[in-house]
Structure 1
Amino acid sequence: MSGKPRLTYINGRGRMETIRWLLSAAGVEFEEVFLQSREQLLKLVKVLCGYHSDSPSPCYCKPPHANSRQSFGSLRIDMYVEGVSDLMQLILMFPFTPPEAKEKNLASIAEKATGRYFPVFEKVLKQHGQDFLVGNRFSWADVALLEAILAVEEKVPSVLSGFPQLQAFKTKMSNMPTIKKFLQPGSPRKPPPDERYVATVMEIFKLD
C-alpha cells in the first residue's frame, strides 16, 4: 500500500473528474483503478454497502456558529459550487445526447453559460476586486469554476468573449503550479468523452 488515495471509476471524466481536479489542485498524489465491466462495479458496490452497514451513521450537521465569518464564507463556497454543478450536469450529459439533439443541446449549454451562470461569477469577481471567489482565498469554488470554464470552452471556444473578469480568473488559476501541472499532457486529467467512453459507461452502468 502506498498510502495514496485510490480512485475507482471508469477511465474517463464523468463525476470523478472533479475529484481529480480537487486532489491535483491540493497537490495530493493519488492512484486510479479503472472499472472495465459491470461485474467489477457490482462487486465494488457490494463491498461498499457491507462496509457502510457495519459503520456508524455519519453526522452531516453544520457547526452551530452559523453567523461567524468562517461559516458565511463556507456557505458562499457551497452556493457557488452548487451553481457550477448545475452547469456541469449539462456538460456531463452532453456526450449521451442523441445525434439529432446535439446541436440544440449545445446551443442550450452556450445560452445558459453566458446568460445565467457566468454573469454571476463575472459580477462577483468585479465587485470585490479580489483574485478568488470567496475571502480572497483559494477554495473549492475556484477549482469548480475553472473546471466548468474549460469544459464549456471545449464546446464553445468563444464563451468567455464577453467576460473579462473570468478571462483573467482563468489565466491566473491555470498558472497556479499544481493546476498548471494537472493541465499538462500526461497528467491524470482525462480527455473529453468520445464514443468509446460513452459505450463503456452505457455498458457498465446499464444506461438506456
Structure 2
Amino acid sequence: MKNPVLYYFDGQGRGEVIRWMLAACGLDFEEVLLTSREQYLKMVADGLFLYQQVPMLEIDDMRLVQCGAILRYLARKGNLYGDDAKEQAMIDMYTDGAQDMFNSSLGIPFQSTENAKDDMWKKVKEKLFGRYFPVFEKALQNCKNSCLVGARQSMADVLLTAALTSFQARQHDILDGYPNLQKWFDEQKKIEWISKFLAPGSKRKPLPDDKYVDTVNTVLNFQLGL
C-alpha cells in the first residue's frame, strides 16, 4: 500500500495536527515540502490543490484539502471517531475547540518584532485561560480511561495533546493551575505512539522559526500566517 503524502511547509502550521493524526492512525507517511513560489505555482497548475490551498494529503487514491475533512477522514480510518452519532458530535465539538486553540497561536511567528510576538502570545494566553482551558479542565473531571469522549482515545484527545505540546514548548508552566489537564496530558504522553512521536527523529515539527516564516511568505507571496 502506498504511504500517504502530506504537502505542506517544513514547520508546524496547519499541517501539524494532520501529522499527529497520521501518527495516531499508525500510518507511516511521506512529506513534500513547499520551498519556492515556482514549485507551488506548478503544483497549482497541475491541479494538485483544490482551492489552491495546503495542507493537502494524498491518501487512498484521493487528494484531500481542508483540515476538518482530512482530520475526520483519518479519524474514521483509524477508529478514532467514537461509537455512535452522539459520541461523534462530542468529539467534533472538543476537536474544533482544540483546533481553534492551536490555530490562535499560528500568527505569532509572523509578527514583525519580538515585542509584537510577545504581545500576541499574551493575547493567546488570555483566550486559553479565559475560554478554552476551563472547558477542558471541567470535561476531564469525570473522563473514563483518560479519554475526553467515550472509553477509548479519539481525535479529540489527539488534537488536544497536539495543542498542549505546542503551548508547553512556548511556556513550560502553561498548565499550572489546571491539575486535571496536567494529569491528563502526562498520561497521554505515556501512550506508546505518543511517546514515540514526541521523541527525537519523528516527523513532528518544532515551533516555527524565521526560516519557516520566510518560506511561507515567499511561496504564498503574502503573509497568510499559516
TM-score range, shorter chain: 0.7 to 0.9
Percent of aligned pairs sharing the same letter: 41
Q: Which amino acid aligns with 2:186?
A: T
Alignment of 1:64-143 (within 5 A): 70-99=84-113, 100-128=115-143, 130-143=145-158
Q: Tell me if structure 1 keeps the 8 A contact 2:148–2:157.
A: yes
By relative contact order (CA 8 Å, sep 6+), the higher-ranking structure is 1
The Cα RMSD (Å) is 2.1
Shift of 1:11: 1.3
Partner of 2:45: 46
Shift of 1:150: 1.3
For residues 76 and 50 of structure 1, do their structure 2 counterparts lie closer, same or farther at Cα, with a shift above 3 Å needed? closer
Alignment of 1:1-208 (within 5 A): 3-48=2-47, 70-99=84-113, 100-128=115-143, 130-208=145-223
3-state SS of 1:91 partner: coil
Q: Output one character per residue of 1:34-91: Cα deviation in whole Å (capped at 9) or x when no partner.
A: 1121111122223336989xx9xxxx9xxxxxxxx71111111111111112111121
Q: Distance in 2 between matches of 1:139 and 1:111?
A: 27
Q: Distance in 2 between matches of 1:135 and 1:112?
A: 27
Q: With structure 1 as the length reference, what TM-score do the two structures score?
A: 0.85
Q: With structure 2 as the length reference, what TM-score do the two structures score?
A: 0.79
Q: Output one character per residue of 1:119-157: Cα deviation in whole Å (capped at 9) or x when no partner.
A: 101101103454100012201100100111111112222
For residues 13 and 108 of structure 1, do their structure 2 counterparts lie closer, same or farther at Cα, with a shift above 3 Å needed? same
Q: Which amino acid aligns with 2:37?
A: R
Unaligned runs of 5+ in 1: 61-68
Higher helix content, 1 or 2: 1
Q: Which amino acid aligns with 1:76?
A: M
